[in-house]
Amino acid sequence: MQLHGGGATAISREGDMIAMNETSMRVCECPNRSTAGMSLLAAILIAAVAPDAKADYVYTRIDYPGATSTNVFGINATGSIVGNATLASGEQIAYVYSGGSGGTFAPLPAMPSGYGLFAVYGINDSGTIVGAASAPDGSVVGFLLNGSTYSFFSDAGRSFTEARSISSTGLIAGDTNDFDSGGNPINAAGYVYDPVSGVFADILIPDALTIIAHGNNKAGQVVGNIFSTSGAQIAFLRDPTPPPTVTMFQVGRKTRARGINDNGIIAGFTWGGDMPRQMGFVGNSSGYQLIAPNDSTPETYVEGINNNGQVGGFYVGDDLVNWHGFIGTPASTPTGTTSGGAYTFAVDVVPDTPVFIDPAPALGFDYAIGQGDPLFTTVTLPIGVGDSQYTLIVRGHEYPLAGGQTFDFQANGFSGGVSGFRVTDIETSAALDPNDPTAFPTQLTFSGSGRFTGTMTPLCVNHKLPPQAPPQAIRHMLAPCGN
């Protein structure tokens, strides 16, 4: 088998048959969503965000411009997402959004002649993208996209290979199989692939018709799910510590694990049994939390999780036909308001560890620390609110800032950090009543340990806007909402 597109590089495979026994295969009887389970899970989620912060997931809807359906599969911690979309014309595309490159949605670069896009699935913090493509010989192969350069690969002897995720170490997890004359999968395996050495390590699980390895992290842990010969859908966690072991687990009757971050937090989706609808889940062996972007959607798919605890996925829309992507953010919500309408917070913080805060959106926000709080050192604004293009104003200086792009105050000449700043240019079409619980989750880091007791004041234009008022004019009209 050859490594296509990057030269004729031979691929070898290192077999990794997992011995399933009572110690390596355990089906957990996961707890119901009780108050105790929720408080325990809150501690789990906060470990990925900041100690002792309250983790309420808030959601930002993601729609590719001009698309009727959009999904989000991969999400990294540096402001990028990847997914697939169906345009109004019926054309299907794979896209990437990157805050670091100006905050725009763009289709993936064209593939080399003879290859066709199948799907995009994952992106790591370095921006390397993986997915699947149709090859000139009719097979389906994995692809790796680094910048604008594609490399293609497949597991030896199998005609179908998908690359589902790529870790910060560059290892790829995915699934591979052949098909019998009736089109049914045979010789199925999950795998971990090293594109540097060209070595595959197959993940083989007894009684599995299909094995989908979907998420992996820097420790080499892999999560996914199997479709068993009896029709069950069961999630698994593979630990690479020699000898490698696979632990099977379920949240609902049917469970698919889709992502695992470097903190060991697992995300996926589940349904069946006494569950009234399909929901996402986030957690680990100590407990889990069921999540969904709203109370009405019958199907939620969580497909990835980054090192900040944010999840990406998609859900069925109100028409029960088309899909909307989403980002779910574990944010600390306000503890109250001041007489002037500012939202107040009480969050423990440590240096350079991100926390998310979330009031309701308006046309802009003023951010300020409380007395004795550590200074702000970075800010990252959300993807998917309006056009995801904002203006950051600090000490009279204005900076364009895209959703997902991190602004480092110290690197931009504000030594030690800042005590306050303003965000503007949220479109009027995106703004809602400031009292509505719709999310504008903001990621912040601080200069030292302590407690953030500051404020986030929603800004409005408290009189009628002139027709087609430009953003520059609106910035000067902003005032605390209601004043």
What's the whole-number mean pLDDT along residues 63-86?
96
Q: Which of 254, 257, 261 is nearest to 246 (CA)?
A: 257
Q: Which of 199, 377, 217 is nearest to 304 (CA)?
A: 217
Q: 205 or 46: whose pLDDT is higher?
A: 205
Whole-number pLDDT of residue 135 = 97
Q: Are 382 and 440 in contact (CB under 8 A)?
A: yes
pLDDT digits (tens, 9 = 90+) for 297-307: 999 999 999 99
Residue 201 and residue 15: Cα distance in Å, rounded? 5
C-alpha torsion angle, residues 142, 146, 151, 154 (rounded to 10):
-20
Residue 60 and residue 77: Cα distance in Å, rounded? 16
Whole-number pLDDT of residue 3 = 27
pLDDT digits (tens, 9 = 90+) for 398-426: 999 999 999 999 999 999 999 999 999 98
Whole-number pLDDT of residue 346 = 81
Q: How far is CA 260 from the centre of its chain?
A: 11
Residue 53 and residue 481: Cα distance in Å, rounded? 27
Output the six-digit token pair for 449: 């340990």
Strands 266-271 and 140-146: unpaired
Residue 251 and residue 270: Cα distance in Å, rounded? 6
Residue 156 and residue 177: Cα distance in Å, rounded? 10
DSSP 139: -
Residue 175 and residue 79: Cα distance in Å, rounded? 27
Find where tokens 């490399």 sit.
Answer: 151
Strands 104-107 and 116-123: unpaired
Mean of pLDDT over the chain: 84
Q: How many degrees, rounded to 5, is the angle at CA 274 between CA 37 and CA 257?
A: 60
Q: Are 389 and 349 in contact (CB under 8 A)?
A: no
Whole-number pLDDT of residue 477 = 83
Find where tokens 């992290």 sit.
Answer: 217
Its sign, for the CA torsion 145, 151, 157, 160, is: positive
* Element housing 403 (H / E): none
| pLDDT at residue 334 tops 90 | no
**What global pTM score does this model have?**
0.82
Whole-number pLDDT of residue 343 = 76
pLDDT digits (tens, 9 = 90+) for 281-321: 999 877 899 999 999 999 999 999 999 999 999 999 888 88
pLDDT digits (tens, 9 = 90+) for 359-377: 766 889 999 999 999 999 9
Whole-number pLDDT of residue 247 = 94
In sequence order, the β-bridge partners of residue 279 are 270
DSSP 108: P
**Residue 174 — pLDDT band, cuts 50, 70, 90?**
very high
Q: Count Cβ atoms within 10 A of the Cβ of residue 201 and give its class: 0-12 exposed, 13-18 middle, 19 or more buried.
A: buried
**Residue 435 — pLDDT band, cuts 50, 70, 90?**
low
